[in-house]
Structure 1
Amino acid sequence: MDAREMKIKAAEAALSHVEDGMRLGIGTGSTADEFVRLLAEKVAGGFRIQGVPTSERTARLCLELGVPLKSLDELPELDLTIDGADEIDPQLRLIKGAGGALLREKIVACASARMIVIADETKVVDILGAFKLPIEVNAFGLVATRHAIEKLAARLGLSGDIVVREASDGPYMTDGGHLILDASFGRIPDADALSRELNAVPGVVEHGLFINIASLAIIAGPSGARVLEAR
């Protein structure tokens, strides 16, 4: 079973948690894309949902495949969000944001009664941090904000490059018009403390640590999908 097949298995398992008539947050990323494709097949067969996308990319795919969408302003309270993750630890703490949608993903997830994470087994880790931590920041005061992040990281015993994410035509811009700093910490022994410290930096709009947000994770491997719950 290759990586895409594992993503499809996770998406199939997650779809069983979606009930007819739900208000559904729809995530961003390659695994979430597979979920959207499967969801679209059910919608074509008469299944009713109202979807709220977490990015312009997801919105385009949903509209292309006929998945009905609403804005979060129209549906400010959701039943469930299905989304992927870049890393998942045993407490279901996540690193998200490889696709640049971390701010909208977190807003949608926190507006939902539950969040289910779908991923392949390569995303499960003992300690977060091998994947670069995305930190969405305001362009104004970028250097000062990065210095503040470097200082708080040092206080927490973290080190590694913190660089502005680049696109093919210059700095990467999020859907909200912000920049992303990717922090290569390697290991984050205290993700809760780092989350609190980052939230206190004025130039930080949001960060990719999702703490106490996911309800469960569906992890796909060569032998099929399994459910991971917080320890």
Structure 2
Amino acid sequence: MATIEAGKKLAAYKAVDDHITADCKVIGIGSGSTVVYVVERILQKPELANLVYIPTSFQSKLLIIEGGLTLGSIEQYPDIDVTIDGADEVDPQLNAIKGGGACQFQEKVVAEAAKKFVIVADYRKKSTKLGVEWTKGVPIEVVPMAYKLVMRSLESKLTVQQPLESKLRMAINKAGPVVTDNGNFVIDAHFGAIERPACLLKELKGLTGVYEVGLFCNMAQIAYFGEADGNVSTLV
């Protein structure tokens, strides 16, 4: 685990060094364990203190506030220079699965608003195809009243690829399902190796009751991976 954390830190530091400069005005800050190191690196650079930072979750909001950085919102700043975020899995075409932390909607909004979307992760997140390494499923945020309808639609209405398993994500430390920041539920649908992620995303988004899908296709420009040997690799 020490090696993995060291890799995350190196990847996050390099992403900040390469893409966030004093010439930027607005930065998107993603969610997850790797993003802690992104903020850590930003705080080491005094020239970045006056930029505005947009969070994708309560976690990243706290990181921004506790670091003494300027907190902004997507309503105030719809044009973002760079967004840096983690990922649960990344394929060779820079398609990604995100939403393991159940905030894929906010993550996608902030990523799409950015001129440049950068992924940081450790080597375990690299995959030949989405759904191979990350087997917990594609996170699908759904309106609560429609979750059973969506579950049924996943089994009967998809033509691109059928799920091997779909389940409502349940909370760990309390009874009942996970509830997102938007008051919705999350269905995790495992498809195995996803052959056409962009086509699957389009079809999933078309199902009634679906709020957002944790497939990020044709969005990232570059990904940084902390390797087991202490080096950082990139994918463009």
Q: What is the TM-score when the length of structure 1 is the normalising length?
A: 0.93
CA distance in structure 2 between the partners assigned to 1:186 and 1:152 by the alignment: 18
Residue type at the aligned position of 2:166: I
SS of 1:116 mapped into structure 2? strand
Deviations 1:3-54 (A, max 9, x none): 11110001010111101143100000001122112212324x7643110000
From 34, 42, 45, the counterpart of 2:45:
42
CA distance in structure 2 between the partners assigned to 1:93 and 1:211 by the alignment: 5
- Where does the alignment leave 5 or more consecutive residues of structure 1 unmatched? none
CA distance in structure 2 between the partners assigned to 1:112 and 1:106 by the alignment: 10
What residue is the counterpart of 2:233 in the other structure?
226
Q: CA deviation at 1:189?
A: 1.2
CA distance in structure 2 between the partners assigned to 1:33 and 1:117 by the alignment: 13
CA distance in structure 1 between the partners assigned to 2:226 and 2:162 by the alignment: 31
From 5, 12, 22, the counterpart of 2:25:
22
What residue is the counterpart of 1:137 in the other structure?
142
Does residue 180 of structure 2 align to residue 178 of structure 1? no
What residue is the counterpart of 2:167 in the other structure?
163
Q: Note if contact 1:77-1:111 (Cα within 8 Å) is conserved in structure 2.
A: yes
What residue is the counterpart of 2:123 in the other structure?
121
Q: Note if contact 2:89-2:125 (Cα within 8 Å) is conserved in structure 1.
A: yes
What residue is the counterpart of 2:81 in the other structure?
79
CA distance in structure 2 between the partners assigned to 1:61 and 1:165 by the alignment: 26
SS of 2:144 mapped into structure 1? coil
Matches within 5 A, 1:202-221: 202-221=208-227
Q: Note if contact 2:3-2:230 (Cα within 8 Å) is conserved in structure 1.
A: no
Q: Which is further off, 144-153 or 115-124?
A: 144-153
SS of 2:92 mapped into structure 1? coil
Deviations 1:95-133 (A, max 9, x none): 000111100000000011110000111111011013221
Following superposition, which runs of at least 4 residues in structure 1 exceed 6 angstroms of deviation?
A: none
Q: CA deviation at 1:73?
A: 0.7
Q: CA deviation at 1:199?
A: 1.2
What residue is the counterpart of 1:102 in the other structure?
104
Q: Note if contact 1:76-1:111 (Cα within 8 Å) is conserved in structure 2.
A: yes
**Root-mean-square deviation over aligned CA pairs:** 1.5
- Count of aligned pairs: 227
CA distance in structure 2 between the partners assigned to 1:46 and 1:103 by the alignment: 27
Q: What is the TM-score when the length of structure 2 is the normalising length?
A: 0.91
Of all paired residues, the percent bearing the same amino acid is: 34
Q: CA deviation at 1:203?
A: 0.5
